[in-house]
Amino acid sequence: MKHSDIARIERELEIQLPEAYKKALLSYPIPAYVGNSETMLWDEADRLIALNLELRRGRLSVDPWPARFFALGLDDGGCSDALDLDDPEHGVFWFDHQHIDADIDTRSPEKIEAWLMRQVKDHTINLLDAGIDPDRTPEQRAAC
């Protein structure tokens, strides 16, 4: 992702993303997943904007998300990890099928830096377990 992509996300969603998250997107930590929208750490600006706008409108049986939350991605089960933009320490919540279960004063104990490290570790292990080098290109990963 480029600086202009991050600026567009922030502009279109009227938010300010934390520096640790922006740094991870600018130098995506797992080369095999650069540009992805299939993990919980998406790296595709258009998809991130579309997902967050959809969640703010509400979808199916999910109430609209407040602007306080920014979905970082979406898993195969329809669940999202979401950054708490009102938390000065930038906690990350997991929302089962995108249903928000945090009230206005609830803060997540897992902060963005720890969440990013966990994502990198988990996705790297998953790739290695599948016999895929995490340092390969997305095209090489897809061919495996």
Q: Is the pLDDT of residue 59 over 90?
A: no
Measured distance CA(80)–CA(52) in Å, rounded: 11
Find the mean pLDDT for residues 55-71.
90
Q: Is the pLDDT of residue 37 over 90?
A: yes
Measured distance CA(91)–CA(38) in Å, rounded: 22
**Angle (CA) 99 7 11, round 5°:** 60
Q: Is the pLDDT of residue 38 over 70?
A: yes
Domains, the chain, in order of start with CATH, read 3-143 (3.40.1580.10)
Measured distance CA(39)–CA(4) in Å, rounded: 22
Q: State residue 1's pLDDT score.
A: 95
Measured distance CA(107)–CA(110) in Å, rounded: 9
The per-residue pLDDT of the chain, averaged, comes to 92
The model scores a pTM over 0.85: yes
Picking from 125, 64, 70, the residue whose alpha carbon sits closest to that of residue 93 is 70
Measured distance CA(4)–CA(51) in Å, rounded: 19
Q: State residue 77's pLDDT score.
A: 87
Highest mean pLDDT: which range of 34-48, 58-72, 90-104: 34-48
Q: State residue 103's pLDDT score.
A: 64
Would strands 92-95 and 80-84 be described as parallel, antiparallel, or unpaired? antiparallel
Q: Is the pLDDT of residue 34 over 70?
A: yes
Instruction: Give the pLDDT confidence of 82-115 residue by residue, as tens digits.
Output: 999 999 999 999 888 777 776 667 778 889 999 9
